Amino acid sequence: MLKKIVKSILNLVGLEVRYKQPLSANIAYFRNEQMIEGLQRSKRRGLVHVSTIIDVGAAAGSWSLSAKEFWPSSSYVLFEPLIERKAELEKLCNDQKDFYFIPAAAGKENSEVNFYVSNDLDGSGIADEVEQASNIRTVEVKSIQEEISQLNLTGPFIIKLDTHGFEVPIIEGCARIIKDVSLFIIECYGFQIAKDSLLFWEMCQFMDTRGFRLIDIIDVTHRPKDSAFWQCDAFFVPKDLQFFKNNTFL
């Protein structure tokens, strides 16, 4: 009885009780709690039906496993060009139903690109500095829309980008499917961290030209030396959604 009363009270203020269901007793992965809360808010706003989720800059696959907590029936496509991640991502995709690993960077069209590899791997990205030549390798680039077509997957889509300043070409490589994208999650920056990368406010403008509007931000980070805004994860949804017509706070 007490549980029912608590659930009723929480429902009145738009909250819900969910029992955490582990994906598998054998799977341990990093759960970013701010990201979990952001994904939960997205689902609560009505993002329930998602056919395909695309994780660009998948690293070890932790973000995809977090998303699977909310959309367990979706297909997952993981882009990651680092050979150091290949074995663990191949294992993950073998273990998880409807997980697909693309051992490449994402971009506007199929090609190759110079890729900087950081010592911790997590800071790796498309290279534009010649002084980093000792840590640069050539990696394959594939467009999201081409890979989705070859895998015969459909929308609605969620696309997450953790790509260190290379976002614009990747989004341009989604042109044929962008009308079916329900949510972009993009790591955005307060400083120009790479040639031709967009600042956070510029990304908001760019996404507006593609028909998307900022709905949420998480993981706001400030750089230690001067507390200036460094980066955040920004959630963009189609700007014609009905709830944008309500301009009141409550």
For the chain, which residues make up each domain, given as ranges? 47-222
**What does the pLDDT read at residue 113?**
75
Looking at residue 212, its pLDDT comes to 98
**DSSP label of 197:** P
Q: What fold characterizes domain 47-222?
A: Rossmann fold (3.40.50)
**What is the reported pLDDT for 133?**
60
Closest CA to 63 of 141, 193, 156, 161: 161
pLDDT value of residue 25: 37
Q: Is residue 134 within 8 Å of 31, Cβ to Cβ?
A: no
Residue 30: predicted pLDDT: 77
Closest of 185, 137, 191 to residue 163, by C-alpha: 185
Burial 137-163 (b: 16+ CB within 10 A, else e): eebebbbbbebbeeeebebbbbbbbbb
User: Torsions phi, psi of 98, nearest 5?
Assistant: 65, 30
The confidence score (pLDDT) of residue 33 equals 95
- pLDDT averaged per 10 residues, the chain (length 250): 46 47 52 95 96 96 96 97 91 96 93 68 56 72 96 98 92 97 97 90 98 98 97 97 93
| Burial grade of 185 (CB within 10 A; 0-12, 13-18, 19 or more) | buried
Residue 152: predicted pLDDT: 98
Token pair for residue 42?
Answer: 């997205």
**Closest to 122 (Cα-Cα) out of 32, 49, 44, 197:** 32
Element (H, E) at 62: helix 62-68
Q: 146 CB contacts (<8 Å, ≥6 apart)? A: 109, 110, 173
Give the β-pairing of 111-116 and 99-102.
Answer: unpaired
Helix (H) or strand (E) holding 136: strand 136-142
